[in-house]
Amino acid sequence: MIRRHVLVSGRVQGVGYRYLARKHAERLGIAGWVRNLPDGRVEAEIEGEADTVAIMLHRLEAGPPGSRVTGLELAELPLADPREEPDERGSRFRIRR
């Protein structure tokens, strides 16, 4: 299992980006969250098996129709503490406001 923090730049707001990210995450079994930032970027945390995280990153880079991703900034994160509340550790993938 690995966990990544992702910042996505480009035309990624107002194009269904977060909803497509959730759809892909649910299909892949990825845990975490996604949200819009005030500066126009999208932020996400994703956790899962290394191969499925790689697929998810590829799909985040592609984005939905109408988007134009110009960059992904990635950072490694420690795995979530299993003692934390399920919503806090991302037992599922959700859209944050």
Q: How many structural domains comprise the chain?
A: 1
Return the active site residues: 18, 36
Distance CA 80, CA 91 (A): 10
Interval 24-50: pLDDT, tens: 999 999 999 999 999 999 999 999 999
Residue 38's CATH number: 3.30.70.100
The parent domain of residue 74 ranges over 2-79
Please determine, for residue 84, whether its predicted confidence score (pLDDT) is greater than 70: no
The answer to whether 63 and 12 have CB atoms below 8 angstroms apart is yes
Residue 70 lies in a domain: yes
Residue 6 lies in a domain: yes
Does pTM surpass 0.85?
yes
**Residue 88 resides in a domain:** no
Integer Cα distance of 85 and 89 in angstroms: 6
Does residue 87 lie within any of the structural domains? Answer: no
Q: What is the pLDDT of residue 92?
A: 86
Q: Is residue 49 part of a domain?
A: yes
Tokens describing residue 23: 């759809």
